[in-house]
Amino acid sequence: MNEIIELLFNFWVGLAILVLIIVKLSVKFVPQNRAYVVERFGKYNKTMEAGLNFLIPFMDKVGHDRNLKEQAVDVPSQSSITRDNISLIVDGVLYLKVLDPFKASYGVDNYTYAVTQLAQTTMRSEIGKIELDKTFEEREALNTNIVAQINEASAPWGVQVLRYEIKDIEPPRTVLEAMERQMKAEREKRAVILESEGERQSAINVAEGNKKSIVLAAEADRAEQILKAQGEAQAIIAVADAKAKALEVIGAAAIEETGQKAIQLDLAAQAIEAKQAIAKESSVILLSDEKTGAANVVAEAMTIINMINKKKSEEFSLDE
């Protein structure tokens, strides 16, 4: 009896263990952004996506585990020849993603290696189409062209290349030295141009300053002449006004008898002073006669005064 109980116990224990093994083999939890390619008896059956999935034990098995995340693949350095026959060492990095796990598993043996080799050959082809100077200027265009050609060729593999970046372009040492000399010459050329432009601008500024200085000096001289002319005109007007006022005073005094005698005395004194001055300046002495004597001069002056007085008397009578 004990043997039968022990046999039944071992049977149920073995059955439980078998059930656990079957459950473990039949249940699969697929992580996020991964895909399991299931094969049944060595033939593709289905693709399990993220979450809870079931298999038939001993019939189905996971043949391939594919990562659906974006992957960065380093492209090894390689030698490429430009259009102008310059050898370059170029490397890059490739960003790709698996879109179809079935094609990535059965369309190519190793899609990462295949895409890397395709990127190298495409890069050599694209660099061979352009000259050395353009490789540095058109790096973005090179990346775009390489991605387009890789995607066209890798479509049957279920892989999409998102972008390609050239990391480094290394020309030969002789070319680097020539480029350095060229850049140095360009910098010196720009320095000379900038210096000449500075000298030109400085000369222009000096010339404009001189021009403005001359204009300001001319304007100052003109203003000075105008002020001087205005001063002289005002002085002439003041002298004329003074003479007019003096004549008015003399005319007013000439009407009276005392004024006439004063004028006679003044005229006689002026005549005597004039003849004395002539005698000092000349070796010839002119003697006075009756017509040129002081009395005659005074008489002539009195005649003029009498005529002025007569004219003023007539004007006064007409006014009344």
Instruction: List, for residues 168-220, the tens digit of each pLDDT value.
Output: 888 878 777 777 788 888 888 888 898 888 888 888 888 888 888 888 888 88
Beta-carbon contacts of 69 under 8 Å, excluding residues fewer than 6 positions away, are 33, 97
pLDDT exceeds 80 at position 303: no
Residue 308 lies in a domain: yes
Q: What is the pLDDT of residue 308?
A: 56
Mean pLDDT across the chain: 79
Residue 108 placed within a domain: yes
Q: Are residues 41 and 82 in the same domain?
A: no
Could you say which of 66, 97, 115 is where a domain stops?
Answer: 66
Beta strands in the chain (DSSP E): 27-30, 34-40, 43-48, 51-54, 60-67, 71-81, 87-98, 159-170
User: Are 34 and 94 within one domain?
Assistant: no
Indicate if 77 and 58 belong to the same structural domain: no
Percent of the chain surpassing pLDDT 70: 77
Residues 14-32: tens digit of each pLDDT: 777 877 877 777 888 888 8
For the chain, the straight-line distance linking the first and the last C-alpha, in angstroms and rounded, comes to: 188
Q: What angle do CA 10, 12, 15 make, to 5 degrees?
A: 110
Residue 184 located in a structural domain: no
Checking if the pLDDT of 320 tops 60, the result is no
For the whole model, what pTM was predicted?
0.52
Q: Which domain holds residue 261?
A: 255-319
Side-chain half-sphere of 192: how many Cα atoms within 13 Å? 6
State the Cα angle at 268 between 264 and 271, rounded to 5°.
140
What's the rounded mean pLDDT across residues 108-134? 88
Q: What is the mean pLDDT of residues 220-229?
A: 86
Last residue of a domain, one of 50, 66, 82: 66
Of the pLDDT bands very low, low, confident and very high (cuts 50, 70, 90), residue 247 is low
Residue 118 lies inside a defined structural domain of this protein: yes
User: Residue 257 — very low, low, confident or very high, per pLDDT cuts 50/70/90?
Assistant: low
Residues 26 and 75 in one domain: no
pLDDT of residue 213: 85
* Residue 133: per-residue pLDDT: 78
Q: Which pLDDT does position 77 carry in this prediction?
A: 87
Q: Given this model, what pLDDT does residue 255 score?
A: 65
129, 150, 171 - which closes a domain: 171
Residue 93's pLDDT is 92
Q: How many structural domains compose the chain?
A: 3
